[in-house]
Chains A and B, each alone.
Chain A
Amino acid sequence: MSGKPKLYYFDGRGKMESIRWLLAAAGVEFEEEFLETREQYEKLLQGGSLLFQQVPMVEMDGMRMVQTRAILSYIAAKYNLYGKDLKERALIDMYVGGTDDLMGFILMFPFLSAEDKEKQRAFIVQKATSRYFPVYEKVLKDHGQDFLVGNNFSWADVHLLEAILMVEEKKSDVLSGFPQLQAFKARISRTPTIKKFLEPGSQRKPVPDDKYVETVRRVLRMYYDVKAN
């Protein structure tokens, strides 16, 4: 047993990607086991490793953790990325809640029909530019600090960068009305652990493709008929 956290998921982004980002940002090395067949998944189920029969699952510190938010909160707290007190944690939780909702619109994108994809792309961009990005733009502008909360690098910064890059993949100039976010993106990308994660060869996963969609559907026997927002 290596002592490193071990991630169980598909070989793709999905709900596990935010966890990869946060571990990487914290400078924590991790191993991955990729689900490729239904049999692997059933074996995990029968072995009792999946509390609610679902992945993501992360083995760490003697626990088999499930539920993305629980896993992320644990990592954030363990590696001091969760603010210095209850109020900073509350702010981080609020901000992460927003970026989570935004990334949620993108999560199901690969599973949509071609027609629904166009509709959803417009929806994502509209929500990003009218509801979410303005909030973080204002936060950064108002306090003039490098990081979202408490003048300290936190989970909220990692999550926002991940969200920005994901939305840019849908519309490359989406940050054009957001100078603070442009500076934030450049600055956070330069953080050594994040810089490393953004380089080729890291454990960051590429934009989901048809093969990924096919694998998820085959392994879970779900998500055949996903609708746009």
Chain B
Amino acid sequence: MSGKPRLTYLNGRGRMESIRWLLAAAGVEFEEMYLETKEQYDKLIKDGFLLFQQVPLVEIDGMKMVQTRAILSYIAGKYNLYGKDLKERALIDMYVEGIADLMQMILMFPFSPPDAKEKNLDSIKERATNRYFPVFEKVLKQHGQDFLVGNKFSWADVQLMEAILAVEEKVPAVLSGFPQLQVFKTKMSNMPTIKKFLQPGSPRKPPPDAHYVETVLKVFKK
């Protein structure tokens, strides 16, 4: 047993990617086990690893953690990325939850039927540009600090960075109206742990492709 957290998921982004980002940002090395077949998944359930029969699963500190938010909150708390008090934690939670709503749209996108893809892409662009990015642009402008909350690097910054890059993959010029976010993106990219995660060969997963979608449907088939 290596003592490193062990992630069990498909070999792709999905709901595990935010966890990979946060561990990486915290400078924590981790191992991964990839689900490729339904049999592997059924065995995990049978062996009692998955509390609610679902992945992500992260084995960390003697716990078999499930539920993405629970895992992220634990990591943030453990590695001091959750603010200095209850109010900062509240702000981080608000920001992170808002971004999660945007990320959910991106998560589901590869699974939308072909005739809905254009509409869904437009929704992602609309929400990012009109609902989410303006909020963070304003937060950064108003306090003039490098980080979203409490003048300190936190989970909120990691989550926003992940979201910016994910949206840019779909809408390349999306940051054109957001100068603060452009600066934020550059600053985050230069942070050592994040810089490392953005380099080839890191545990970061590529955008979902047809093979990933196929694997998801196969592994979780009822």
A→B interface (CB under 8 Å): 51-53, 61, 63, 65-70, 73-74, 77-78, 86-87, 89-90, 93-94, 96-98, 101, 131-132, 135
Closest to B78 in A: A86
A61 partner residues in chain B, CB cutoff 8 A: 87
**27 A-B residue contacts at CB 8 Å?**
A51-B98, A52-B135, A53-B131, A63-B90, A66-B98, A67-B94, A69-B97, A70-B90, A70-B93, A73-B73, A74-B86, A74-B89, A74-B93, A77-B86, A77-B89, A87-B63, A89-B73, A89-B74, A89-B77, A90-B63, A93-B67, A93-B69, A94-B67, A96-B70, A98-B52, A98-B67, A132-B52
B66 partner residues in chain A, CB cutoff 8 A: 94, 97
Asked if B65 is an interface residue, CB under 8 A from chain A, the answer is yes
B90 partner residues in chain A, CB cutoff 8 A: 63, 65, 70, 73-74
The distance in angstroms between the C-alpha atoms of A135 and B51, with both chains bound, is 7
A-facing residues in B72-99 (Cβ within 8 Å):
73-74, 77-78, 86-87, 89-90, 93-94, 96-98
A73 partner residues in chain B, CB cutoff 8 A: 73, 89-90, 93
The winner among B66, B73, B78 for most chain A CB atoms within 10 A is B73
Chain B's nearest CB lies how many Å from the CB of A110? 21
A74 partner residues in chain B, CB cutoff 8 A: 86, 89-90, 93
- Contact of B69 with A90 in the complex, beta carbons under 8 Å: no
Chain B's nearest CB lies how many Å from the CB of A101? 7
- Contact of A131 with B101 in the complex, beta carbons under 8 Å: no
Closest to B68 in A: A97
The distance in angstroms between the C-alpha atoms of A94 and B51, with both chains bound, is 9
Chain A's nearest CB lies how many Å from the CB of B185? 20
The distance in angstroms between the C-alpha atoms of A101 and B61, with both chains bound, is 25
The distance in angstroms between the C-alpha atoms of A97 and B54, with both chains bound, is 12
Closest to A78 in B: B86
Given A69-B93, A98-B52, A98-B67, 4 other A-B residues pairs in contact with their CB atoms under 8 A: A63-B90, A70-B94, A93-B70, A131-B53
B→A interface (CB under 8 Å): 51-53, 61, 63, 65-70, 73-74, 77-78, 86-87, 89-90, 93-94, 96-98, 101, 131-132, 135
Closest to B48 in A: A138
Tell me how many residue pairs across A and B have CB atoms closer than 8 Å.
79
A78 partner residues in chain B, CB cutoff 8 A: 86
B65 partner residues in chain A, CB cutoff 8 A: 90, 94
Chain B's nearest CB lies how many Å from the CB of A194? 24
The distance in angstroms between the C-alpha atoms of A139 and B53, with both chains bound, is 15
B89 partner residues in chain A, CB cutoff 8 A: 73-74, 77
The winner among A86, A90, A98 for most chain B CB atoms within 10 A is A90
The distance in angstroms between the C-alpha atoms of A100 and B98, with both chains bound, is 17
The distance in angstroms between the C-alpha atoms of A74 and B90, with both chains bound, is 6
A67 partner residues in chain B, CB cutoff 8 A: 93-94, 97-98
- Contact of A98 with B74 in the complex, beta carbons under 8 Å: no
- Contact of B61 with A87 in the complex, beta carbons under 8 Å: yes
B77 partner residues in chain A, CB cutoff 8 A: 86, 89
- Contact of B52 with A135 in the complex, beta carbons under 8 Å: yes
The distance in angstroms between the C-alpha atoms of A90 and B77, with both chains bound, is 10
The distance in angstroms between the C-alpha atoms of A22 and B51, with both chains bound, is 24
Chain A's nearest CB lies how many Å from the CB of B214? 22
From A53, A77, A97, A135, give the contact of B70 (CB < 8 A): A97
- Contact of B70 with A94 in the complex, beta carbons under 8 Å: yes
A132 partner residues in chain B, CB cutoff 8 A: 52
Chain A's nearest CB lies how many Å from the CB of B215? 22
